Structure formats: structure tokens, C-alpha cells
A and B are shown apart, each in its own frame.
Chain A
Amino acid sequence: MSEHHITAGFLPLLDSAILVAAREKGFAASEGVDLTLVRETSWASIRDRIAVGHFEVAHMLAPMPIAANLGLTPMRLDLIAPLALGLGGNAVTVSNALWRAMEEAGAAGPDDPAAVGAALRKVIEDRRGQGSDRLRFGVVHPHSGHNFELRYWLAACGIDPERDVDITVVPPPLTADAMAAGRIDGFCVGEPWNSVAVAAGHARIATVKAAIWRSSPEKVLGVRADWAVAHSDTLARLLRALYRAAAWCGEAENHEELAAILSGEAYLGQPAKLLLGALDGRLETGGGIHRFADFFLPMEKAATFPWQSHALWFYSQMVRWGQVPHGETNAEKARASFRPDIYRAALGPLGAALPAASMKVEGALTAPTPVGATSGRLILGPDGFFDGAVFDPAELDGYISGQRSAGARQRP
């Protein structure tokens, strides 16, 4: 019998795939880990249950551990992120009515967020002229990649996320219904919920996370900090199991089996064919099937590595939208929330190609590029932001003050 019991909470989203595969394909068992997965209904519930010890680890929005360590959660909770659960996987989806208006305003393919954003801006200006209500967009949580990438995209397109639109929180499984009921005009959410809304005939995928910021971080494995210290061996076993599971998820020939597993009632409970598109990067946008580069990467391009530059970018957005004041102590807490040291120590024995650096300049690579690795060959990029901006973690202060003056008005 296994001595390493771990209970992990997850939400029904495509990027729970690595956790699910670790259990269902035996990667956890072969590391001696008895992994129990518990499906939850909200990120708040994941947070509460990890705080009181129902879960040791959980599928989490990447900014969640940062928010917890910065004291933005209702209870005292210290979390670490020693592994990322893939890159990409989200889309911005709008109602059919809003898409028609955007199309008239010049929106075309989903690969060009600047053109789609320019069309949205024109629609917003027209609506303002007509005295219409502000458009409402749903995101899944204030401390989420969805909230930050939607705001980043809007602001870079000259749309003030605080004044020109309303941004509200909608649980992922309820996004399609909220759109059908007219409560929201668009949303930024992880798969399969964009595909579910499109398949139901309510919506159109306007653009995707991978086009707004290619190879960008999304979910992480969140771990209670005190548990990680007391159970470092068990955690290392889990990380190795997840790494192997990620490699399995990344192989195209496994996508059909993975989609079938994830479609089960205990996991996503959605038709496998709606999951397969996102795994293959071929999504039905509502205007035909579109092939997206690097739509969701579970393994390639160091997709499981917890880059501290990712943590700092999320932090820069938390500062930008008034969630936390900027300061040296806060920035350091945010950076230290991601733990590449634990990742390297656990995966070193596998002989995996691990990045030698813990931070990188985000948005600097315009093509796939070999980078320094502890062993083997590691290719990163392209990793550009759609507006051509670059985030250099060594220039955090400058980036934060620069974005403050850019377009969008700040909350007082």
C-alpha cells in the first residue's frame, strides 16, 4: 500500500488534464502516490478547503497563491506554486449579437487581437453615442489570468476596462447560460467553456489567450506551504508524476484518450469532441474551425516550469488594477510564491531538460529558440505579447509605472 496520500481539489476545466492524467494513467501510482481528486464548484471553495487541510494541493489560478501570500484572501493562508499546469488554454468569447456588430466594425480572424480589439472599441464608441448600456464581460475570478489578460487586451486596444465596460465574475460552467440569458455580452474563460457556448449556438470566439500573449501562464499546482515543508518527499513524487503526466498529455496521439477520460462525469462531464478541439488547437469559433498556434501547451516549451517572471507579471497586473499597492516587500512575496527550486530538485533525478534560469524576459522571443538548460535540449518561444510590449522582470518598477500612464485610468 502507498504511504503517500494526497487529496487534490480541481475545477472542471481542460487544464485540470495533467492532474487527471496523473491519476487515471497511473503516473501517480508509479511514484507511490495515492492521488484522490475532488471536483469543486468555486475557487473560493478550493481556497477554503486547502486552508483547513481538506486538500494538500489543488488546481489553482496562477495568481491565487500570490494573492494568498499578499494577504488578499479572507483567512491567513500561505501557498506555493512549485509547478505550472500548462500554458494558454483560454479564449475571449462574445455573444452572436456583439460579434455581428464587431464584424461590421471590421473584426476578422481571431489571430489578430489588435484588429478584433479595434473593432470592439468602435462598437463601444457607437454604443456610447447611442446611449446604450456598457457592455458586460465575465471573468472567473478577480485574481485570474482571465481577468488580467482581458484587461491587458482591452487597455492595449484603447478600451478602459474600468470605465468603458463592466467586468463581472461568472463561474466557468455558468458562462454559456449567462450569455444565453443576456446577462453578459462576452467572457474570458478557460476551455471547454468557450467551445460549450459556441456549440450551444450563443457565441463566437473573438480571440484567444495564445494570441494575446503566446506561451503565457494560466494554472498552477497550488500547495499549502507548511505541508510542502513537512512532506517534501511526497511533494517531489507528485511533481515527478505530474511532469510525466504532462508529457503524456502533450503527445498528439494521446489526445483522443485524454478527451475521453476528461469527458467523464467525475471530471468535466462534457462531450469528448468539445474537449478534443482545444487539445489539438483546432477550435470551432462559430465561424468555422480555426487552427491556433500553441493554443494549450501542457508540456512543450517548459510548460510546467514555474517561472518567477510569470509570478511578477501577474503581480504587476494586480498592482495595475488596484488589487495591491506596489512595494519591494510585496514584489518579493509575489516572486517567491513560485518555486522553481522545488521543481528542479524534484525533477532533476528524471534527467529532464530544466531551464537554468528562474526568470526570463517575457515577450522577447519572436521564434522558437534553444535556451540554457541543465541537461538535454529546451526550446522556448515564440512568447510575444500582441502589442509588442516586453516584460523584463529586472525592470519591474519601470514596467509598473509605464503601464500606469498607458491609456487606462487607474482606480483611486
Chain B
Amino acid sequence: MPPRSLSVLVIDENTLRAAIIEAGLREAGHEHVTIVHDVNGIAQRIAEIEPDVIVIDLENPNRDMLENMFNLSRAVRRPIAMFVDQSDQSAIEAAVDAGVSAYVVDGLRQERVKPIVDMAISRFNAYSKLARELEEAKSALENRKLVDRAKGILMRSKGISEEEAYTLLRRAAMNQNRKISEIAQSLILASGLLDE
């Protein structure tokens, strides 16, 4: 008979990241996944859910409170330890690097818990990558807008074509060893000052 599927509680104030983790755990066949965004009243929720594994964002300011609660048997019937295995230093490092902390009730076998913690780590990393890419895309878009505006200024003031304007900007960037968007920004700033 297969063992009962583990109950996982994810505490994360970031709703998007929590959803990504939940989806990953469900895809991996974990049916008992609960997501909590707000830690108010968490003791009650934990008593109801009786989680086997608790996953928390490392930067959650309430971690000291939660850890203290895990140590008090009143709130949690079974003692909860951090991470899968104290001796597994590389697992701890991977988790902290990813920004996730995982707590596991004592007595669970490592091989049952490790896939859950590994899933949380990989989803945290995936979320960070996504957030970083979004940030990069946003700044790329802003840079393109800057270059377009600078080209427009050059085209009007020098009466040159778009291609010539771009060549001018690129040459200035190469000569000054700066990014083309930085040159564009300086030009827009200078042109704004001259217009005043």
C-alpha cells in the first residue's frame, strides 16, 4: 500500500511565487497543498492542516515567530525541524541560496521529503529567474525608447536620416566606452536643458 501523501503548507506573502510552487507540487502528484499568504492566525491553521512539510520564503519577517511556534508543542503536535537532514549541508546551501526555508516534522524519512524540498527550491529559483527576466525586459524596453527619442532629436536638429542618427549614437558610445542607452539619455537631458 502506498504511504499517505504528505501534506504541504506553503507560507509566502508573494502570491505569484506561491502559485508557481503550488502548481509544481500538484504536477508532481501532491494533493494536500495549502497556501497561506498572511501569517495572522497561522497557529490555528497549522493545527487544522497538520502539515508534514512547511515551506517559507527565507525573507519572511515572521520566521522567528514561526520557528518559535514550531518549538512549542501546543501549536504543533509533532516537533518540526528545519530542512531534511542536518548533515546534508549541500541541501541547506541550495535552499538558502534559493531563498527558501523548509521545515519538516520529525520522524519522516528523508527520501519522502527531499523531492518536496527540491521542488520548492527549483520553483523558487524559477521564480527569481522569471522576476529577473521581467526586470531586464522592462529595462530593455525603456532603453529602446530612450534611443528612439535621441534619434528623433538628432534627426530634427541635424536634418539627418534615422540610420545616420543611429550611427552617430553608436559611434559616440564606442568612443566613450559607454552603453548606447546612456549616450541617448545624456543627449535627451542636454537637449532638454538647451530647450529651456
Seen from chain A, the residues whose Cβ lies within 8 Å of a Cβ on chain B are 41-45, 48-49, 51-54, 74-76, 140-142, 168-171, 173-174, 183
B81 touches A74 (CB 8 A): yes
Instruction: Encode contact with A along B139-157: 1 for CB under 8 Å, 0 otherwise.
Output: 0000000000000000000
A45 touching B92 by the CB < 8 A rule?
no
Q: In the complex, how many angstroms separate the beta carbon of B185 from the nearest chain A beta carbon? A: 24
Which of A51, A140, A170, A183 is B96 in contact with, Cβ under 8 Å? A51
A74 touches B82 (CB 8 A): yes
Chain B residues, CB < 8 A from A183 = 40
- CB contact between A52 and one of B59, B62, B86, B93 (< 8 Å): that residue: B93
Q: Complex Cα distance A48/B91, Å?
A: 12
Residues 69-96 of B at the A interface (beta carbon under 8 Å): 69, 71, 81-83, 86-87, 92-93, 96
Not counting A42-B63, A44-B67, A75-B82, a sample of 17 additional A-B residue pairs whose C-beta atoms are within 8 angstroms of each other reads A41-B60, A42-B60, A44-B63, A48-B58, A48-B92, A48-B96, A48-B101, A53-B93, A74-B86, A76-B86, A140-B64, A142-B68, A168-B65, A170-B65, A171-B62, A171-B64, A173-B61
What are the residues of chain A within 8 A of B93 when measuring CB–CB? 52-53
Asked if B61 and A142 make an inter-chain contact with CB atoms under 8 angstroms apart, the answer reads no
State whether A52 touches B101 (Cβ < 8 A). no
Distance, CA A169 to CA B42, complexed state (A): 13
CB distance from B88 to the nearest CB of A (A): 10
* From A54, A75, A168, A174, contact of B61 by CB (8 A): A174
Q: Is B97 an interface residue (CB 8 A)?
A: yes
Would you mind naming 10 contact pairs between A and B with Cβ atoms under 8 Å apart? A42-B60, A43-B64, A48-B92, A52-B96, A53-B93, A54-B96, A74-B81, A76-B86, A140-B64, A171-B64
**Complex-state Cα separation, A168 to B87, whole angstroms:** 30
- Picked from B58, B64, B101, the residue with its CB within 8 Å of the CB of A141 is B64
Query: Min CB distance, B7 to chain A, in Å?
Result: 20
Give the nearest-CB partner of B85 in chain A. A75
Q: Taking beta carbons and an 8 Å cutoff, which residues of B are in contact with A?
A: 40, 58-65, 67-69, 71, 81-83, 86-87, 92-93, 96-97, 101
Chain A residues, Cβ within 8 Å of B101: 44, 48
In the bound assembly, the distance between CA atoms of A76 and B62 in angstroms comes to 22
Which of the listed residues A48, A53, A142, A173 has the most CB atoms from chain B within 10 Å of its own CB? A48
B75: min CB distance to chain A, Å: 11
Q: Which of A48, A171, A173 contacts B65 (CB 8 A)?
A: A171
Interface of A is mostly: loop
The distance in angstroms between the C-alpha atoms of A90 and B68, with both chains bound, is 21
With CB as the reference atom, state the residue of chain A lying closest to B43: A168
**C-alpha spacing A41/B97, complex, angstroms:** 16
Residues of A within 8 A of B87 (CB): 76
Shortest A110–chain B CB gap in Å is: 26
Contact present for A49 and B96 (CB under 8 Å): yes
A169 with B86, Cβ < 8 A, contacts A51-B96, A52-B96, A74-B81 known: no
- Which of chain A's residues have a CB closer than 8 A to the CB of B69? 169
What residues of chain B lie closer than 8 Å to A41, measured between beta carbons? Answer: 59-61, 63
Contact A52 B64 (CB under 8 A): no
The answer to whether A74 touches B60 (Cβ under 8 A) is no
Contacts of A54 in B (CB 8 A): 96
Q: How many Å lie between the Cα of A126 and that of B178 in the bound state?
A: 73
A42–B83 contact, CB under 8 A?
Answer: no
CA distance A53 to B60 in the complex (A): 20
* Nearest-CB residue, chain A, relative to B58: A45
A54 to B97, CA, bound (A): 9
Question: CB distance B64 to A42 under 8 Å?
Answer: yes
Whole-angstrom distance between the Cβ of B120 and the nearest chain A Cβ:
15
Residues of chain A with a CB closer than 8 A to B61's CB: 41-42, 171, 173-174
**Among B59, B65, B82, B92: residue with most chain A CB under 10 A:** B65
8 closest cross-chain pairs (CB), A and B:
A74-B82, A44-B63, A169-B68, A169-B65, A41-B61, A42-B63, A171-B61, A52-B96
* CB closest chain-B residue, reference A172: B61
Query: A47 to B20, alpha carbons, bound, how many Å?
Result: 27
Task: List the A side residues contacting B96 at CB < 8 Å.
Answer: 48-49, 51-52, 54
CB distance from B69 to the nearest CB of A (A): 8
A166 to chain B, nearest CB (A): 10
Check if B83 sits within 8 Å of A75, measured CB to CB: yes
Contacts of B86 in A (CB 8 A): 74-76
A44-B64, A52-B93, A52-B96 are known contacts. Are A142 and B59 too (CB-CB below 8 A)? no
CB distance from A134 to the nearest CB of B (A): 13
Separation of A141 and B60 alpha carbons in the complex (Å): 15
The smallest beta-carbon distance between B25 and chain A, in angstroms, is: 22
- The contact of B62 among A42, A48, A51, A53, by CB within 8 Å, is A42
Q: Are A52 and B83 in contact (CB under 8 A)?
A: no
Q: A45-B58, A75-B86, A76-B86 are in contact. Are A51 and B92 (CB under 8 A)?
A: yes
A44 CA to B57 CA, complexed, in Å: 11
CA distance A48 to B100 in the complex (A): 10
Task: Give the distance in Å from the alpha carbon of A42 to the alpha carbon of B62 in the complex.
Answer: 7
Contacts of B83 in A (CB 8 A): 74-75
Residue of A nearest to B71 (CB): A142
Question: Which residue in chain A gives the minimum CB-CB distance to B80?
Answer: A74
Chain A hits for B40, CB < 8 A: 183
CB atoms of A52 and B97 under 8 A apart: yes
- The CA of A45 and the CA of B99, in the complex, are separated in Å by 9
Instruction: Output the nearest chain A residue to B82 by Cβ-Cβ distance.
Output: A74
Q: A45 vs B97: C-alpha distance in the bound complex, in angstroms?
A: 11
